[in-house]
Chains A and B, each alone.
Chain A
Amino acid sequence: MAEPYAMSLSEAAAAVAARRLSPVELLDSTLGHIERVEPRVSAWARLRPEGARRQAERLGVGAATGPLHGIPIGVKDIFYTAGFETSCGSRIMAGFVPTYDATTVARLREAGAVLLGKTHTTEFASFDPSPARNPWALDHTPGGSSSGSAAALAARMCHGALGTQTSGSIVRPAAFCGVVGLKPTFGRVSRYGVHPLAWTLDHPGPMARTVRDVALLLETIAGPDPHDPATLSAPPTERYASALDDAGARERVLRRLRIGVPDRYFFDGLDAEAATAYRAAVSALGALGGTVRDVRLPDLFEAGMEAHDLIHNVEAAAVHVDRYRTRAADYGQKLRAFIETGFQVPAPTYVRAQQVRTKLIEVMHEVFRDVDVLVTPAAPGPAPEGLASTGSPVMNRPFSFLGFPSVTVPCGLTRNGLPLGLQIAGRPFEELTILRVAAAYEGATSWSEAVPPL
Chain B
Amino acid sequence: MERDTSALAWTRALLTLPTETGRDFDDELEAIRRRIKAVHDAPVTHDTEPAGAPRLRRDDG
Contact = CB atoms under 8 A, between A and B. Distances in A.
Interface of A: 200, 229-230, 232-233, 300, 302-303, 306-307, 309-310, 313, 321, 324-325, 328, 336-338, 340-341, 343-346, 349, 351-359, 361
19 contacts: A229-B55, A306-B39, A307-B39, A324-B17, A325-B15, A325-B18, A328-B20, A340-B21, A340-B24, A343-B22, A349-B36, A349-B39, A351-B50, A354-B50, A356-B39, A357-B52, A358-B50, A359-B42, A359-B44
B2 to A, nearest CB: 14
Contacts of A307: 35, 38-39, 42
B34 to A, nearest CB: 7
Contacts of A351: 50
A359 B20 CA distance: 38
B25 A337 contact: yes
A341 B34 CA distance: 13
Interface string B41-61: 111100011111001010000
B28 A341 contact: yes
Contacts of A345: 32, 36
Contacts of B31: 309, 341
Contacts of A230: 55
Contact of B48 (A229, A306, A359): A359
Contact of B51 (A303, A343, A357): A357
A300 B42 contact: yes
A343 B55 contact: no
B49 to A, nearest CB: 6
Most buried by B among A309, A328, A338, A355: A355
The binding surface of chain B is classed by DSSP as: loop
B6 interface: no
Interface residues of B, number: 32
A354 B48 CA distance: 9
Interface of B: 8, 11, 15-18, 20-22, 24-25, 28-29, 31-32, 34-36, 38-44, 48-52, 55, 57
The binding surface of chain A is classed by DSSP as: helix
A310 B36 contact: yes
Contact of A341 (B25, B44, B51, B57): B25
A355 B17 contact: no
Contacts of A321: 15, 17
Given A328-B21, A343-B17, A356-B44, A310 B39 contact: yes
B34 A344 contact: no
B48 A355 contact: yes
B48 A358 contact: yes
Nearest to A200: B52
Nearest to A356: B42
A352 B28 CA distance: 20
B9 to A, nearest CB: 12
A303 B50 contact: no
A344 B18 CA distance: 14
B51 A361 contact: yes
Nearest to A233: B55
A303 B39 contact: yes
Contacts of B8: 344
Q: Which 4 A-B pairs have the closest CB atoms?
A: A354-B50, A303-B42, A306-B38, A357-B51
Nearest to A354: B50
A306 B18 CA distance: 28
Contacts of A349: 36, 39-40
B17 A352 contact: no
A338 to B, nearest CB: 8
B44 to A, nearest CB: 5
A356 B35 CA distance: 12
A407 to B, nearest CB: 23
A344 B32 contact: yes
Contacts of A303: 38-39, 41-42
